[in-house]
Amino acid sequence: MKVTVKYFASLRETIGRAEDQLEIAENMTIADIWRQVNPEHIQNQQMLCALNMEYVDWGTVVQANDEVAFFPPVTGG
Amino acid sequence: MMKLHSSRQSRVANVANIKIINGEFDPFAILSQQSASLDMSKIGACNSFVGSMRDFNQGDSVLTMELEYYPGMTEKALEKLANHAIEKWNINDVLIVHRVGPIKPSDVIVLVAAWSAHRADAFSACRFLIDELKTKAPFWKKEQLKNSSRWVEKNT
Protein backbone atom coordinates (compact mmCIF):
# COMPACT_ATOMS: atom_id res chain seq x y z
CA MET A 1 0.00 0.00 0.00
CA LYS A 2 1.05 3.59 -0.63
CA VAL A 3 1.92 6.27 1.93
CA THR A 4 3.44 9.74 1.72
CA VAL A 5 6.25 10.66 4.13
CA LYS A 6 7.25 14.30 4.68
CA TYR A 7 10.29 15.78 6.44
CA PHE A 8 10.65 19.30 7.76
CA ALA A 9 13.28 21.84 8.85
CA SER A 10 16.68 20.49 10.00
CA LEU A 11 15.52 16.92 9.48
CA ARG A 12 14.65 17.66 5.83
CA GLU A 13 18.16 19.08 5.33
CA THR A 14 19.88 16.15 7.09
CA ILE A 15 17.96 13.58 5.07
CA GLY A 16 18.24 15.60 1.85
CA ARG A 17 14.62 15.08 0.83
CA ALA A 18 11.34 16.86 1.61
CA GLU A 19 9.07 13.94 0.73
CA ASP A 20 8.99 10.21 -0.09
CA GLN A 21 6.23 8.24 -1.77
CA LEU A 22 6.49 4.74 -0.30
CA GLU A 23 5.11 1.31 -0.99
CA ILE A 24 4.85 -0.41 2.40
CA ALA A 25 3.50 -3.64 3.91
CA GLU A 26 0.30 -3.62 5.97
CA ASN A 27 0.31 -3.13 9.75
CA MET A 28 3.48 -1.05 9.80
CA THR A 29 3.89 1.49 12.57
CA ILE A 30 5.37 4.96 12.19
CA ALA A 31 8.58 3.68 13.84
CA ASP A 32 8.73 0.85 11.24
CA ILE A 33 8.39 3.38 8.43
CA TRP A 34 11.17 5.53 9.89
CA ARG A 35 13.47 2.47 9.99
CA GLN A 36 12.56 1.57 6.40
CA VAL A 37 13.17 5.00 4.88
CA ASN A 38 16.08 6.17 6.98
CA PRO A 39 18.03 3.14 8.22
CA GLU A 40 21.22 5.20 8.46
CA HIS A 41 19.68 7.67 10.89
CA ILE A 42 19.11 6.79 14.51
CA GLN A 43 15.68 7.59 15.92
CA ASN A 44 16.23 10.76 17.88
CA GLN A 45 14.31 10.93 21.17
CA GLN A 46 13.35 14.54 20.50
CA MET A 47 12.06 13.98 16.99
CA LEU A 48 8.30 14.33 16.52
CA CYS A 49 5.95 12.51 14.20
CA ALA A 50 2.50 13.20 12.81
CA LEU A 51 -0.07 11.08 11.00
CA ASN A 52 -2.49 12.88 8.68
CA MET A 53 -1.45 16.19 10.29
CA GLU A 54 -2.09 15.14 13.91
CA TYR A 55 0.57 14.35 16.52
CA VAL A 56 0.69 10.59 17.22
CA ASP A 57 2.88 8.05 19.04
CA TRP A 58 5.61 6.18 17.19
CA GLY A 59 3.68 2.94 17.67
CA THR A 60 0.63 4.11 15.68
CA VAL A 61 -0.23 1.80 12.77
CA VAL A 62 -0.36 3.43 9.33
CA GLN A 63 -3.16 2.86 6.78
CA ALA A 64 -3.13 3.07 2.97
CA ASN A 65 -2.80 6.62 1.57
CA ASP A 66 -1.88 8.08 4.96
CA GLU A 67 0.47 11.06 5.25
CA VAL A 68 3.26 10.59 7.77
CA ALA A 69 5.55 13.46 8.82
CA PHE A 70 8.79 13.61 10.80
CA PHE A 71 10.21 16.83 12.22
CA PRO A 72 12.36 18.34 15.01
CA PRO A 73 10.92 20.15 18.07
CA VAL A 74 8.93 23.21 17.01
CA THR A 75 10.29 26.74 17.45
CA GLY A 76 7.55 29.14 16.38
CA GLY A 77 6.17 32.21 18.10
CA MET B 1 -13.96 21.41 12.00
CA MET B 2 -13.47 20.63 15.71
CA LYS B 3 -16.49 19.66 17.79
CA LEU B 4 -16.80 21.29 21.18
CA HIS B 5 -17.31 19.07 24.21
CA SER B 6 -18.45 21.94 26.38
CA SER B 7 -22.00 23.21 26.19
CA ARG B 8 -21.02 26.63 27.49
CA GLN B 9 -19.90 27.93 24.12
CA SER B 10 -21.80 27.45 20.90
CA ARG B 11 -19.11 28.57 18.49
CA VAL B 12 -15.89 27.02 17.22
CA ALA B 13 -12.78 28.58 15.77
CA ASN B 14 -12.80 29.11 12.01
CA VAL B 15 -10.63 30.70 9.36
CA ALA B 16 -11.39 34.16 10.69
CA ASN B 17 -9.49 33.22 13.86
CA ILE B 18 -6.34 31.86 12.22
CA LYS B 19 -4.04 33.55 9.74
CA ILE B 20 -0.67 32.46 8.38
CA ILE B 21 0.97 35.26 6.44
CA ASN B 22 4.00 35.23 4.15
CA GLY B 23 4.95 38.90 4.31
CA GLU B 24 4.87 41.80 6.75
CA PHE B 25 1.71 42.53 8.74
CA ASP B 26 0.54 45.28 11.08
CA PRO B 27 -0.73 43.56 14.25
CA PHE B 28 -2.55 46.66 15.47
CA ALA B 29 -4.45 47.11 12.20
CA ILE B 30 -5.53 43.46 12.39
CA LEU B 31 -6.60 43.88 16.02
CA SER B 32 -8.70 46.92 15.07
CA GLN B 33 -10.30 45.08 12.16
CA GLN B 34 -11.16 42.09 14.31
CA SER B 35 -12.58 44.32 17.10
CA ALA B 36 -14.71 46.12 14.51
CA SER B 37 -16.27 42.79 13.53
CA LEU B 38 -17.35 42.00 17.12
CA ASP B 39 -20.22 43.25 19.27
CA MET B 40 -17.96 45.33 21.50
CA SER B 41 -20.86 46.29 23.79
CA LYS B 42 -20.55 42.78 25.28
CA ILE B 43 -16.76 42.87 25.59
CA GLY B 44 -14.91 44.44 28.50
CA ALA B 45 -11.40 43.21 27.76
CA CYS B 46 -9.05 42.49 24.90
CA ASN B 47 -5.70 40.99 25.75
CA SER B 48 -3.07 40.66 23.04
CA PHE B 49 0.50 39.46 22.66
CA VAL B 50 2.80 40.61 19.86
CA GLY B 51 6.10 38.79 19.32
CA SER B 52 8.81 40.21 17.09
CA MET B 53 12.28 39.27 15.88
CA ARG B 54 15.41 40.20 17.85
CA ASP B 55 18.74 40.87 16.13
CA PHE B 56 20.52 38.63 18.66
CA ASN B 57 20.15 35.08 19.97
CA GLN B 58 22.38 32.93 22.16
CA GLY B 59 25.09 35.58 22.17
CA ASP B 60 25.23 35.99 18.37
CA SER B 61 24.04 38.70 16.01
CA VAL B 62 21.24 37.44 13.78
CA LEU B 63 20.90 39.07 10.36
CA THR B 64 17.71 37.46 9.04
CA MET B 65 15.54 34.46 9.69
CA GLU B 66 13.49 31.96 7.66
CA LEU B 67 10.30 30.57 9.18
CA GLU B 68 9.20 27.19 7.86
CA TYR B 69 5.83 25.57 8.55
CA TYR B 70 3.81 22.48 7.65
CA PRO B 71 0.97 23.69 5.38
CA GLY B 72 -2.23 22.03 6.53
CA MET B 73 -1.01 20.74 9.88
CA THR B 74 0.02 24.15 11.18
CA GLU B 75 -3.45 25.62 10.51
CA LYS B 76 -5.03 22.55 12.11
CA ALA B 77 -2.83 22.86 15.22
CA LEU B 78 -3.66 26.57 15.59
CA GLU B 79 -7.37 25.88 15.13
CA LYS B 80 -7.14 23.26 17.87
CA LEU B 81 -5.49 25.77 20.24
CA ALA B 82 -8.17 28.36 19.48
CA ASN B 83 -10.89 25.81 20.18
CA HIS B 84 -9.26 24.75 23.46
CA ALA B 85 -9.22 28.39 24.56
CA ILE B 86 -12.88 28.83 23.57
CA GLU B 87 -13.79 25.70 25.56
CA LYS B 88 -11.74 26.56 28.61
CA TRP B 89 -12.47 30.25 29.16
CA ASN B 90 -15.45 32.49 28.75
CA ILE B 91 -14.20 34.40 25.74
CA ASN B 92 -16.01 36.09 22.86
CA ASP B 93 -13.30 35.71 20.26
CA VAL B 94 -9.67 34.73 19.70
CA LEU B 95 -7.15 35.52 17.00
CA ILE B 96 -3.87 33.87 16.03
CA VAL B 97 -1.72 35.41 13.27
CA HIS B 98 1.72 34.00 12.45
CA ARG B 99 4.31 35.02 9.90
CA VAL B 100 6.20 32.54 7.68
CA GLY B 101 8.97 32.93 5.08
CA PRO B 102 11.88 35.40 5.26
CA ILE B 103 11.92 37.73 8.29
CA LYS B 104 14.20 40.53 9.42
CA PRO B 105 14.93 41.96 12.88
CA SER B 106 12.13 44.08 14.39
CA ASP B 107 9.51 42.44 12.11
CA VAL B 108 6.43 41.09 13.88
CA ILE B 109 6.35 37.28 13.95
CA VAL B 110 3.19 36.52 15.88
CA LEU B 111 0.00 38.10 17.19
CA VAL B 112 -2.43 36.34 19.53
CA ALA B 113 -5.45 37.98 21.14
CA ALA B 114 -8.50 37.10 23.21
CA TRP B 115 -11.66 39.17 23.72
CA SER B 116 -13.81 38.64 26.80
CA ALA B 117 -16.38 40.26 29.07
CA HIS B 118 -13.77 40.40 31.86
CA ARG B 119 -9.99 40.71 31.94
CA ALA B 120 -9.17 37.48 33.80
CA ASP B 121 -10.43 35.23 30.99
CA ALA B 122 -8.81 37.43 28.32
CA PHE B 123 -5.41 37.34 30.10
CA SER B 124 -5.53 33.57 30.71
CA ALA B 125 -6.66 32.67 27.20
CA CYS B 126 -4.05 34.93 25.59
CA ARG B 127 -1.23 33.46 27.68
CA PHE B 128 -2.42 29.92 26.94
CA LEU B 129 -2.51 30.62 23.20
CA ILE B 130 1.05 31.93 22.94
CA ASP B 131 2.56 29.39 25.36
CA GLU B 132 0.89 26.44 23.61
CA LEU B 133 1.68 27.81 20.14
CA LYS B 134 5.36 27.82 21.04
CA THR B 135 5.36 24.15 22.06
CA LYS B 136 2.73 22.62 19.72
CA ALA B 137 2.39 24.47 16.42
CA PRO B 138 4.67 23.21 13.62
CA PHE B 139 6.87 26.21 12.87
CA TRP B 140 10.68 26.16 12.65
CA LYS B 141 13.13 29.06 12.67
CA LYS B 142 16.41 29.11 10.78
CA GLU B 143 18.74 31.97 11.65
CA GLN B 144 21.20 33.57 9.26
CA LEU B 145 24.32 34.72 11.12
CA LYS B 146 27.25 36.66 9.62
CA ASN B 147 29.12 33.63 8.30
CA SER B 148 26.77 30.70 8.86
CA SER B 149 23.18 29.65 9.40
CA ARG B 150 21.58 27.47 12.06
CA TRP B 151 18.22 26.00 12.99
CA VAL B 152 16.89 27.19 16.32
CA GLU B 153 16.74 24.00 18.38
CA LYS B 154 14.74 25.10 21.36
CA ASN B 155 12.29 27.87 22.12
CA THR B 156 13.13 30.13 25.06
Prediction ipTM score: 0.95
Q: Convert the pLDDT of each residue in B14-50 to its tens digit.
A: 667 999 999 999 999 999 999 999 999 999 999 999 9
Closest CA to B15 of B76, B91, B100: B76
The number of folded domains in chain A is: 1
The answer to whether position A76 is within a domain reads: no
How far is Cα A42 from Cα A36, in angstroms, rounded to an integer?
12
What CATH number corresponds to the domain at position A67? Answer: 3.10.20.30
Instruction: Determine the pLDDT at residue B11.
Output: 60
In DSSP notation, A7-47 reads: E-HHHHHHHT-SEEEEE--TT-BHHHHHHHH-TTS---TT-
Nearest CB to B68; choose among A9, A55, A77: A9
Residue A43 within any structural domain of the chain: yes
Would you call A59 an interface residue with chain B, using a CB distance cutoff of 8 Å? no
| pLDDT, tens digit, 9 for 90 and up, residues B118-133 | 999 999 999 999 999 9
What whole-number distance in Å separates Cα of residue B125 and Cα of residue B14?
17
A8 vs B70, B109, B110: nearest CB: B70
Quick one: pLDDT at residue B155? Answer: 82
Instruction: Check CB contact under 8 Å for B73 and A9.
Output: no
CB B75 within 8 A of CB B14: no
Q: B70 contacts in A (CB within 8 Å)? A: 6, 8, 50, 53, 69, 71
Q: Give domain status of residue A77, yes or no.
A: no
B15-146 has which CATH code? 3.90.1170.40
Closest chain B CA to residue A49: B138
- Residue A26 within a domain: yes
The pLDDT of B59-86, averaged and rounded, is 97
Q: Do B142 and A77 touch (CB under 8 A)?
A: no
Query: Does some domain include residue A17?
Result: yes
Shortest distance, CA B129 to any CA of chain A (angstroms): 10
Mean pLDDT taken over chain B:
92
